[in-house]
Chain A
Amino acid sequence: MSPEPETAIRERRGTPGSRSPFRRALSRLRRNRLAMLGFWILVFLYGTAIFADFLSPHHYAASARKKAYHPPMITWVHFFDENGLTWPYVRNSAFEFDENQRKVYRETPGTAYPIGLFVTGDAYRFLGLIETRLHLFGLRGVENISHTDPNRPMLFLLGSDNFGRDVLSRLLYGGRISLSVGLVGVAITFVLGMLIGGASGYFGGRTDMLIQRLCEMLMMMPGFYLLLALRAAIPADWSSFETYLAIVVILSFIGWASLARIIRGLVLSISEMDYVTSARAMGVPHSRIIIRHVLPNTFSYAIVAATMSIPGYILGESGLSLIGLGIQDPEASWGNMLALAMDIAQIRFHPWILIPGVLIFITVMAFNYIGDGLRDALDPHGVQQ
């Protein structure tokens, strides 16, 4: 018998039975179509948020006063001029009130602004580092038009809002806030909930009692009113970034208690296991036991719980911003953009202001799909393939 080639041995080692639990879970996750769909949607959305300033044709606060509620220009792009096929361009436009006092936008004849790639526009810092004016796309031929001109030509591919600001650009910038709020918030909740819940379950006794009563008190409070109260405590002169951070902290402050309770329950049973008892007998410090031996066993639950709770933060931020207590105009977030849609007249005549709601919906769905997929994939009793 000839010896087996080395590759075969490696392959056998690579059979499912011998792979790490993490790799097995990952491969299970990869086979879950819905979870992967959610994953790629999120990759796309987070990607656009990271490069928002480059991808957006305008700054989020850039406005043309006299162009409130401009309809989406996607259908207004011209491909032909008098000489036949040409580079796509749009015309400037202006509104008039019709006989029903509705704003009707009409193209201004004789104007033409080509939609260019890699055009110069509003200044920004690319990835927060490099000062540049380069945008992926935008209008050409507008460099000499004053930004304060109320009727200046702007590119509203997805329409404009009530102040004549580009909805697409605001969606991209707003995504930065709406999408990151969940991640930052969950990170805070996660750390707080794991550590506090872990300590509570591990030590038991009086510590446990105190922590659990504290959790119950937090959970008892009606979350929304607590949010309002905490929000009211933020000073007026904080910058939008500080306010944003404060909102995230407020949201996580409410969220950690329920996580801590579940972790505590899990830890309670884990700390009775022999290997924990023996670690204790060997004199390993408590903090090390909790962090190295106990908590890792709760990760599979925690990861799923964290993923599933991200939508809660996104919705929380949207809710706060919707009622005007979150991110303040002119800063954009999907929630405060959606505040416009609280009026029936606006939805009826300007349906494009609902787009942020669609994005919130898609994001929340994507996180839920991933969360479901993760739960199935991380379940140790899941079917081995």
Chain B
Amino acid sequence: MYRLIRAMVALTVTAFGFTALEPAHSRDLELVERLKKNAAEFRHEIGKPGGTLTYSTISGPKTFNLAISTETSSTEILDYVFEGLVETSWLTAEVEPGLAERWESSEDGIVWTFFLRKGVKWADGAPFSTDDVIFTFSRIIYNDDIPASARPGLTIRYRDDVAQTWKKGQVKAEKVDEHTVRFTLPVPFAPFLRAMGTAIYPRHILEKHVDDGTFTSTWDVGTKPGDIIGTGPFTIERYDAGERIVLGRNPRYWQRDAAGKPLPYLDRIVYLVVPNLATSLLKFQAGETDVLEVTGEHYPILKPQETAKNFTLYKRGPNFGTTFLALNMNAGKNSRNDAPFVDPVKLGWFRTLDFRKAVAHSIDKDSIIDNVMNGLGYPQWAAVSPAAGDFHNPEVTRYPYDIDKANALLDGLGWFDGDGDGVREDAEGNNIVFTLATNSGNTVRERVCTIMKQDLARIGVRVNLRFLEFNTLVSQLTSTYDWEAIVIGFTGGVEPHHGINFWHSGERLHLWFPNQEEPATEWEKRIDGLFVRGSRELERRKRVAVYREFQQIASDHVPVVYTALAERITAVRNRFANMTPTLFGLFDVRRLHLK
């Protein structure tokens, strides 16, 4: 799907194509092969204009200002309105021309020249040119006064070999002529080309708002929808807050089909705002919407209705989003009262490798898949999802569900249950008890926690469950650091470099010990180095090796214990043509048409 692809671009996806997708399970091999075959055999056909595609969404857009929006409820809509210089293919995940029709790069990967498509117009008729690209990069993305969501992805972390310090570099954009723009990078940066999918904004409309400092309040949801000007295939026609968003065909859109007819084919895309997933399901069953993302638990409801209600359920392989257990290994102290973030006794357990391994061995992934995902999921062992193609390392150290082995590991540490209360004591006689938190309302994570609690009890570790409101949880993770153990998830993409936020020891989201000046352990140091190397390595084969090595180290030291990846399932009404399920999407919304 177009928007899925754009979301991936936003996550700075890899600059390289996909060769192999390692299945998590042998039974999935067939599915993966079929999806790859679909993509290889697919050819777009000439469509007929007209028609409406209807989605449902849990929450409407919070802003129409794509540059500063971070939540998918807004970006999902705005990705139809704005485009980048390149785009990612929904068939192969290859980078394809977008607003730029071609590009060149210097041998060392430092200088990139993009040749813009001629004749592209903004939705209000103004011509698109290099000035818009320069404006977007220098005035919006790299403007410190604007919290641009694209900035982290376009900030390059590198080690200055002369000064021996870490630096953060930016991409320099220069105008060559009206339709040529040159980018200069501080160091080679492998994810750069795909990151060029970042949206370009109209200078002739937004420049005055950047000048007078009102950019962050420009294009809020109160703006007249017709004033939101992009180059994308659709424009916002109307927005009734809490009710619906209607996107209309952009008649000035540049792309044409093979017969020279204008794209997109569809007249409208409608998003119905619904209160919850159950309503989404009901709306889809009632035929009011055309597309539905389906959870494993809802699959058995829809499957028998496929023929009668004229839709098809497409299984699309493991998800990118991970759910994992993390133990707090933060040795820091609160600067205000000098109290350690984590009780030193517990910190001691969490930093013991064999304890973490024992915990990993006691996670029953199969039960999580069967009981939480209704059997529609894949056990996860490596830090990179199998959905990310050959960056996924299938040979990492695995910790299969094995209570006896977990018990043996704890016995080996000399932690026994001396007083017979069912809970082991460490060498100093402290009961091994800790609090496991997750965000309340997320039933998947709550159930995963309950399964973990049961299993950890079997190895003599007592866990108190604590379900917290999401923002409370986030503030514990990123500012107060006073959590002990947590089950949480991260979204991911096909570009492994995206994981640097989480894996680099100097990062804020390096959950178990964030913002370290120097890596606390030798293996964290190695992972830091690998991430930096991976981003500078332009040869795909070597890059794959780098990220595979990182996954191996991560699996050997188990800072986090992965659980399971859900199957991606999408239901689509059988009214549309020019679509097929692939590993990366279902269709290009510009070429989707009614049968």
Contact = CB atoms under 8 A, between A and B. Distances in A.
Contacts of A346: 297
A162 to B, nearest CB: 6
B453 interface: yes
A163 interface: yes
Contact of A236 (B435, B441, B450): B435
Contacts of B403: 148
B184 interface: no
Contacts of A164: 371
B309 interface: no
Contacts of A323: 440-441
A163 B300 contact: no
Given A65-B367, A68-B371, A148-B403, A100 B440 contact: no
B465 A100 contact: no
A330 interface: yes
Interface string B426-451: 00000001010100110100110011
A343 B297 contact: yes
B367 A348 contact: no
A198 B480 CA distance: 47
Nearest to B281: A344
Interface string B464-477: 11110100100000
B367 A345 contact: no
B374 interface: yes
Interface string B455-471: 00010000011110100
Contacts of B435: 236-237
Interface residues of B, number: 38
Contacts of B367: 65-66, 150
Given A68-B370, A163-B371, A236 B443 contact: no
A329 interface: yes
B441 A324 contact: yes
Nearest to A243: B464
A236 B464 contact: yes
A97 interface: yes
A145 to B, nearest CB: 15
Given A324-B440, A344-B278, A349-B300, A329 B370 contact: no
Given A63-B454, A148-B403, A100 B371 contact: no
A163 B455 CA distance: 12
Contacts of B437: 236
Interface string A318-361: 00000111001110000000000011111011000000000000
B299 A325 contact: no
A106 B371 CA distance: 17
A333 B393 CA distance: 44
B304 A100 contact: yes
A168 B433 CA distance: 30
B443 A100 contact: no
Contacts of A20: none
Contact of B458 (A103, A148, A324): A148
Contacts, number: 80
Contact of B364 (A65, A236, A329): A65
Contacts of A345: 297-298, 300-301
Interface in B478-511: none
A99 B371 CA distance: 17
B303 interface: yes
A263 to B, nearest CB: 37
A248 to B, nearest CB: 20
Contact of A343 (B278, B376, B450): B278
Nearest to B372: A162
A348 B464 contact: no
Contacts of A324: 440-441, 446, 467
B558 to A, nearest CB: 23
B357 to A, nearest CB: 19
A23 interface: no
Contacts of B465: 328-329
A101 B300 CA distance: 5
A163 B441 CA distance: 18
A66 B369 CA distance: 11
Interface string A358-378: 000000000000000000000
B49 interface: no
B304 A236 contact: no
Nearest to B467: A324
B388 to A, nearest CB: 25
B77 to A, nearest CB: 27
Contacts of B469: 232
Contacts of B467: 324-325, 328
Given A236-B464, A345-B297, A97 B375 contact: yes
A98 to B, nearest CB: 8
A100 B303 contact: yes
A102 interface: yes
A65 B367 CA distance: 7
A163 B367 CA distance: 9
Interface in A39-97: 61, 63, 65-66, 68, 97
Nearest to A329: B450
Nearest to A340: B443
B422 to A, nearest CB: 12
Contacts of B441: 323-324
Given A324-B446, A328-B465, A330-B454, A66 B370 contact: yes
Nearest to B304: A100
Contacts of A343: 278, 297, 443
Contacts of A342: 443
Nearest to A63: B454
A101 B299 contact: yes
Interface string A223-243: 000000000100011000000
A237 B483 CA distance: 12
26 contacts: A65-B367, A65-B451, A68-B370, A68-B371, A99-B303, A100-B299, A101-B300, A102-B300, A103-B375, A163-B451, A232-B469, A232-B472, A236-B435, A236-B437, A323-B441, A324-B441, A325-B440, A325-B467, A329-B465, A330-B453, A343-B297, A344-B282, A345-B297, A345-B300, A345-B301, A349-B301
Given A232-B469, A325-B467, A349-B300, 8 more contacts: A63-B454, A163-B447, A232-B472, A328-B467, A329-B446, A342-B443, A344-B278, A345-B297
